[in-house]
Amino acid sequence: MRIIGGSLRGKNLASLSGHSIRPTADRLRESIFNIIAVRVPNAVVLDLFAGTGAFGIEALSRHASAAVFIDNSRAAVTVIYRNLEMCRLLDRARVILSDVSRGLDRIPMSQPRFDLVFMDPPYDRGFVQNSLNLLRRNPILAPGHCLILEHSSQEPLPFDLEGYVLHDQRRYGKTLVSFLEGML
């Protein structure tokens, strides 16, 4: 796994062994960043279910101003810290070891509101609806934010997307990537 673009292009990232993490393939990440390219510079980024931190680190490489990473796995958080350190990005990042609901509550109100949210929850476990509800109720999102949701085609978006408009959706094999525009 490597950084696809920006100032750190080509930099290899550490990953996790085992099946508990399903890293997003480089090509898929590249496709996503091609779609949202104009939104990334100076954005404040939230990387939920962060895994290795590849989405947030890619955004920082492409000149996002700051990123917060949340994951409930101690091993994942260790890898995120290692990747941030290797990329010399620790000064622009915060890492929270927590599940999403408690992690969102640990973000201080003084934190600038998030412009981009990457969400890649475990597939087919009901996290999509719950996470969208948590985000909608939490005052941490900037008006007009963009939420990029990687999810299983077997777990489609809920019909009730209160607070969001589905801007775009792409299929990559068994994976759907949904681009939601925040109407908060």
Assigned token pair, 55: 């989405």
pTM of the model: 0.92
Q: What confidence score (pLDDT) does residue 42 get?
A: 97
The pLDDT of residue 20 is 58
127: left (phi over 0), alpha (psi -120 to 50) or beta: alpha
Q: Tell me the CATH number for domain 6-15+40-182.
A: 3.40.50.150
Q: Are strands 141-152 and 164-172 parallel, antiparallel or unpaired?
A: unpaired
Token duo for residue 174: 């068994």
Q: How far apart are CA 43 and CA 116, in angstroms?
A: 7
All structural domains of the chain with their residue ranges = 6-15+40-182
pLDDT tens across 74-107, in order?
Answer: 999 999 999 999 999 999 999 999 999 899 989 9
Match 């109100």 to its residue by tokens: 109
Q: Please give the pLDDT value at position 160.
A: 73
Please give the pLDDT value at position 18: 62
What tokens does 38 get? 């104009």
Is the separation of the CB atoms in 30 and 4 below 8 Å? yes
pLDDT at residue 114, rounded to an integer: 96
Average pLDDT for runs of 10 along the chain of length 184: 88 77 75 95 96 95 97 95 96 95 88 94 84 86 93 81 87 90 78
3 state DSSP class of 126: coil
Which pLDDT belongs to residue 184?
A: 61
pLDDT number for residue 118: 96
According to the model, what pLDDT value does residue 84 have? 97
CB 167, CB 179: distance < 8 Å: yes
Counting other chains too, the contacts that 71-77 makes at CB distance below 8 Å and 24 or more residues apart are: 71/95, 71/96, 71/97, 72/97, 72/98, 72/99, 72/100, 72/103, 73/16, 73/20, 73/21, 75/16, 75/20, 76/16, 76/21, 76/50, 76/51, 76/52
| DSSP 8-state secondary structure symbol assigned to residue 12 | B
